[in-house]
Amino acid sequence: MRSKDVVKNELKEKLDTALASQNAEGLTEALADFAMGIQQEVVADFKAFQRTGDQQIMAKRGVRQLTSAEEGFYTAMMQAVRTGDIKQAFTGIENDMPETVIDAVLDDISTAFPLLGAINVQNTAAVTKMLINKKGVQLAMWGALGSKITEELEGAIGKIDITTNKLTAFMPVSKDMLDAGPAWIDAYVRAVLTEALGGALCKAVVAGTGKDQPIGMLKDVSATANVQNGVYPDKEAITLTEITPKTIGGIAKTIATGPNGRTRVVPELLLVVNPVDYFEKIMPATTLLLPDGTYRNNVMPYPTRIEQDINVPTNKVIFGLADRYFMGVGKGGIGGKIEYDDSVRFLDDERVYLTKMYGNGRPLDENAFVVADITNLKEAALPAAVKGTVATSAIVEEVKGVVTTKAAQA
């Protein structure tokens, strides 16, 4: 018999594949299957808690103290599932998912998907449009405002419509799930939304085309970008053959230069890379052998946060300013509802529901992210060992601009 972890990983891989395939029918099936797997785990944990009273089971599953609004929402949901007239039971304002549930999901997502924890993801709740600072200009000026400055400020303010794109997640609800109660249903709903929304958001943040979805870091968002039918073109990739202070400094220089010629501080770079490329190319290029015989990985000439994401194309990496990618997710005033759906069918004791939320995002300017081709990226130069020593008897100086030391004599 296969372990629960193996089955869960298989369902997760199926969901990741479906997200990448753009096949709506396959994605619906994969998401519903994944949700059923999560539901079975939650029910099993609930029954184990009933037998033992072990609080650690609740903590591990993420069961939390609900607010009165959350308690009322899940109680209404349970009553709706039990009723014969499902669609009628789900009508009314009480069906709105509380904003605090979305907040909790976004917290869970930032932990489960580190890339989303790095960028600027906000719960936009009932907000339908967000004003953004596109050009990084100073939006407050001392002295009189002349017409030239006014025009410049107006051109620097952009708008993101949060309700443009819809995110949908399917959740089967069984009779056993209803017996668990509101707090456990909350843990189940959050687990499904975390995986479904997290995977979809990561894909959009990295490679979203801009058509019925956010615009990804890979895309050209300049004023001269050749946008065809709402689809943004890919940014032109620079060539990166080695990681040195000069090459990384050149990339940081581009990022530090705003599109209007103004400069900005780059306290830390974000580097996003495909997991396979990370182990095959980035890790060898950023790993140093220290004089004490140990290795140090992810050594960069400048403070850099490295995140792996399956949506980055092979032989490509993305450098950028994490907080210059904005993503808004929320109910959009009309989303976040639980609705009955009969397009996905299970056993008689399973009823399938879906929730719809809205979101949109984009790089805030064209220089915020730089795409690099790492096809021919070289490994880091490591000192050779001599007669069992950890380094040669020569001085190991400024390896990759980070480590400066002297090895002991053999």
Residue 399 pLDDT: 40
Which three-class secondary structure state does DSSP give residue 47? helix
State pTM to two decimals.
Answer: 0.74
Split at pLDDT 50, 70, 90, the class of 383 is low
Task: Tell me the three-class secondary structure of 171-228, residue by residue.
Answer: EEEEHHHHHHCHHHHHHHHHHHHHHHHHHHHHHHHHHCECCCCCECCCECCCCCCCCE
Residue 352 pLDDT: 62
Q: Which residue has the higher pLDDT, 185 or 345?
A: 185
Split at pLDDT 50, 70, 90, the class of 24 is low
Residue 345 pLDDT: 47
How is residue 31 written in tokens?
């998401």
Residue 349 pLDDT: 45
Split at pLDDT 50, 70, 90, the class of 31 is confident
Mean pLDDT, the chain, rounded, equals 76
Residue 175 pLDDT: 74
Which three-class secondary structure state does DSSP give residue 226? coil
Instruction: Using a pLDDT cut of 70, give the percent of the chain over it.
Output: 68
How is residue 90 written in tokens?
């789900």
Split at pLDDT 50, 70, 90, the class of 325 is very high
Residue 409 pLDDT: 36
Cα–chain center distance at 228: 26
Per-residue pLDDT tens for 332-368? 444 445 555 555 444 344 556 666 667 788 998 999 9
Region 377-387 average pLDDT: 71
Ordered domains of the chain (ranges, CATH)? 4-216+326-363 (no CATH), 238-323+368-406 (3.30.2320)
Of 201, 304, 311, the C-alpha closest to 255 is: 304
Q: Which residue has the higher pLDDT, 146 or 245?
A: 245
Q: How far apart are CA 339 and CA 89, in angstroms?
A: 10
Split at pLDDT 50, 70, 90, the class of 164 is low
Q: Which residue has the higher pLDDT, 132 or 171?
A: 171
In 73-126 the beta strands, taken as DSSP E runs, fall at 120-123
Per-residue pLDDT tens for 98-131? 778 878 888 888 888 899 889 978 776 544 444 4
Q: Which of 135-139, 264-268, 400-404 has the lowest mean pLDDT?
A: 400-404
Q: How far apart are CA 341 and CA 25, in angstroms?
A: 14
Split at pLDDT 50, 70, 90, the class of 379 is very high
Region 162-189 average pLDDT: 75
Q: How far apart are CA 351 and CA 363, in angstroms?
A: 39
Residue 29 pLDDT: 75
Residue 140 pLDDT: 46
Q: Cβ(347)–Cβ(144) under 8 Å? A: no
Q: Which residue has the higher pLDDT, 406 or 372?
A: 372
